Structure 1
Amino acid sequence: MKKVITLLFLVTFGFTQAQQAFKGKGDVKVNVGANIQNGGTGIQGSVDFGLGENFSFGFVSTYLLGVDEFSGLNGVTPYTEKPEFQDRFDAKARISANLSSVIGVEQLDVYPSLNLGLHNFGGHVGGRYFFTDGFGVFTEIGFPIAKYGNNDGLFDHLNNQTTFSLGASFNL
C-alpha cells in the first residue's frame, strides 16, 4: 500500500509541477534515448530549434548497437556476416509541427514531422512531456515513406523500417 501511495504522490507531483513543452521561436530541445526496432536496438539523439509558435526544424541521428548478425551458407560453407558502420548509422534533417498550443496542453508537445535522411525520406510522430523547465521525457514512432536505391543489400532493412524511440528530453 505504501508503494501505491508513493507512486500516486509522485505522479500527482509530476503533473502539477509540469512546465511548458514548446515555447516557439528560439526554443531548443535535445532528446537522448533508446531506439528499438526489428533486428536491432541502439541509441538516438536529436535536437530541435523553434522557428515559430508551432514550427521547428532539427536533426536526428541513430546508431544501432545490438544488431542481429546474418548467418547463411555459401554452397556448403557456413558464414556469418556483421553489419558495418554505414549499415548501423543514420542521420536525418527534420521539420516538425509542434501542436502543444493547438491541443491546449502546455506541458505536452505532440509533433508530427517529415524527415530526409541518408537512407530514406520518412516521417515520425512524437511527444514530449516536461516535468520541470529543463527536463522531460519523449517518445517517437518513425516510419519510411520512400526508400533510396534498390534495397538489395543484406542490411538495408535496418534503416528502412518502423522504429520506436523513448528517452529523456532537455530544454536548452
Structure 2
Amino acid sequence: MKKFITLLFLASFGFTNAQQAFSGKGDMKVNVGANLQDGGSGIQGSIDFGLGENFSFGFVTTYLLGVDNFNGTYGGVVYANDYKPEFQDRFDAKARINANLSSVIGVEQLDVYPGLSLGLHNFGGHVGGRYFFTDGFGVFTEIGFPIAKYGNDNDVFDHLNNQATFSLGASFNL
C-alpha cells in the first residue's frame, strides 16, 4: 500500500508541476531511448530545433543492438550458419521536420509532433509525443514508418531499417 501511495504522489506531483513541452523558435529538445521493431531492438537518439511557433527540424539516429542472426536461403543464396548483420545494416540516420502541435491542441505540457524524415535507407514519416514533468525533463514516445524505400531488398537485412518502429524514452530540454 505504501508503494501505491508513493507512486500516486509522484505521478500527481509530476502532472501538477509539468512544464511547457515546445516553446517555438530557439527551442531545443533531445530524446534518448529504446527503439523496438521486428527483428531487432536498439537505441535511438534525436535532437530537434525550433524554427517557429509550430515548426522544428532535427536529426535522428538509431543503432540496433539486438539483431536476430540469419540462417537459410534468401534470394537464391544460401547463407552460412548465424549470418550476422554489419554496421550499415544496424545503423540509420535521418534529417527530419516536425509540426509541433502543443499550442494548437491547447495543452502546453504535451507536444504532439507528426513529421517527415529523409534518411540513409528511406523517406518516411513519424508521429510522436513528448510530455515534460519539469522544465528540463520529460518522456517521449514515437512511431516511425517508411513511405519510400531505397534499394531493391536484395540483402538479407534490408528490412531492418525499412519497417515500422516504436521508440520510447527520456526527453531533455536544452
User: Could you say whether these structures have the same fold, taking a TM-score greater than 0.5 normalized by the shorter chain as the test?
Assistant: yes
Runs of 5+ unmatched residues, structure 2:
none
Written as runs of structure 1 = structure 2, the 5 A alignment for 1:114-129 is 114-129=116-131
* Worse overlay, 14-23 or 68-77: 68-77
Structure 1 stretches of 4+ moved >3 Å: 73-78
Written as runs of structure 1 = structure 2, the 5 A alignment for 1:54-133 is 54-72=54-72, 79-133=81-135
Residue 35 of structure 2 corresponds to which residue in structure 1?
35
Query: Is the alpha carbon distance of 1:55 and 1:76 closer, same or farther for their aligned partners in structure 2, counting shifts above 3 Å?
Result: closer
TM-score, with length taken from structure 1: 0.96
Percent identity, aligned pairs only, is: 83
Query: What's the CA shift string for 1:31-74, capped at 9, x where partnerless?
Result: 00000000000000000000000000000000000000001269
Query: Is the alpha carbon distance of 1:3 and 1:72 closer, same or farther for their aligned partners in structure 2, counting shifts above 3 Å?
Result: same
Residue 149 of structure 1 corresponds to which residue in structure 2?
151
Contact 2:71 2:79 in 1 (8 A): no
RMSD: 1.6
Query: What's the CA shift string for 1:111-154, capped at 9, x where partnerless?
Result: 00100000000001000000110110100000000101111210
Q: Distance in 1 between matches of 2:52 and 2:78?
A: 61
Q: Which amino acid aligns with 1:49?
A: F
Contact 2:35 2:166 in 1 (8 A): yes
Query: Is the alpha carbon distance of 1:77 and 1:36 closer, same or farther for their aligned partners in structure 2, counting shifts above 3 Å?
Result: closer
Contact 2:144 2:165 in 1 (8 A): yes
- The count of corresponding residues between Structure 1 and Structure 2 is 172
SS at match of 2:116: strand
SS at match of 1:21: coil
| CA positional deviation for 1:77 | 9.0
| CA positional deviation for 1:78 | 5.2
Residue 23 of structure 2 corresponds to which residue in structure 1?
23
Q: Distance in 2 between matches of 1:30 and 1:75?
A: 42
